[in-house]
């Protein structure tokens, strides 16, 4: 009897694996690619799309940062990417803004920890905050705010601590989250229930600073984010349709 039970379990597992593989194959063939939650336009002859961050925001000016060789080799070919470095007269370090937009390959979107670890940073504190975004349809934008730090060795051998603030979120058409796990759950849910592979974007801003200056730095970043987001991100359906009262 036990032997028969083992064979029954084995057959059930094999059938389940085959059914799952068949379902995934069917979904891959029949899935539709969703619309981005940011402004994006097709590039003739390319599987990627043209995305942009605003060049001038408030008193910030910016320069375009070309995609590095490492990023070109790491991202799938249908990944869309843009990065700008923002500077102002009262900012000694600058703020970098980045958008990574996935195509049909979800591996374009990766864990934020990987970016930080690659630059030698570790996360010291995490929280989710809301940034008011104005415009015809004002809303509160939830973002992940991480305080990070790293040790930099000086020529004399001493280590100096450098801090920074990393702000990020994920957005698709009428969907938004600050968590990588929730983003993955949304992606699978829409794929299974709607047959739509949502085209998610990973948006981030990073600013280095001296230890103890994290909140001052975030206040500067908050102004930049609030003013720049309406230039590239589509407001969610839940956003207020009437102007906010002053």
176 closest CA partner among 107, 239, 112, 120: 239
User: How many separate domains does the chain show?
Assistant: 2
pTM exceeds 0.75, yes or no? yes
Ramachandran quadrant class, 113 (left: phi over 0; alpha: psi -120 to 50; beta: rest): alpha
Report pLDDT for 8. Answer: 54
User: Are residue 177 and residue 80 in the same domain, yes or no?
Assistant: yes
| Domain, as residue range, for 15 | 1-30
Matching residue, tokens 């925001």: 57
Residue 132 lies in a domain: yes
Residues 200, 150: Cα–Cα separation, whole Å: 30
For the chain, which residues score pLDDT lower than 70?
A: 1-30, 69-73, 238-246
User: Are residue 135 and residue 147 in the same domain, yes or no?
Assistant: yes
Report pLDDT for 158. Answer: 86
Report pLDDT for 106. Answer: 85
């Amino acid at each position: 009897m036990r032997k028969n039970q083992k064979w029954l379990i084995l057959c059930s597992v094999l059938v389940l694996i085959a059914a799952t593989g068949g379902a995934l194959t069917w979904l891959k063939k029949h899935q539709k690619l969703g619309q981005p939650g940011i402004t994006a336009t097709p590039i003739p002859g390319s599987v990627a799309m043209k995305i942009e961050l605003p060049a001038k925001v408030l008193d910030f000016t910016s320069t375009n940062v070309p995609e590095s060789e490492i990023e070109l080799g790491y991202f799938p070919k249908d990944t869309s990417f843009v990065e700008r470095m923002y500077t102002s007269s009262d900012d000694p370090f600058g703020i970098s803004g980045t958008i990574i937009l996935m195509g049909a390959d979800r591996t374009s979107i990766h864990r934020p920890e990987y970016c930080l670890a690659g630059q030698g940073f570790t996360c010291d504190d995490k929280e989710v905050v809301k940034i008011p975004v104005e415009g015809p349809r004002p809303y509160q934008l939830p973002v992940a705010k991480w305080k990070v730090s790293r040790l930099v060795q000086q020529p004399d051998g001493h280590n100096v601590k450098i801090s920074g603030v990393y702000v990020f979120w994920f957005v698709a058409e009428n969907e938004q989250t600050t968590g990588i796990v929730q983003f993955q759950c949304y992606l699978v849910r829409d794929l299974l229930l709607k047959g739509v592979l949502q085209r998610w974007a990973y948006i981030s801003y990073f600013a280095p600073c001296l230890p103890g200056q994290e909140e001052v730095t975030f206040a500067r970043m908050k102004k930049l984010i609030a003013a720049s987001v309406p230039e590239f991100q589509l407001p969610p359906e839940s956003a207020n349709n009437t102007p906010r009262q002053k």
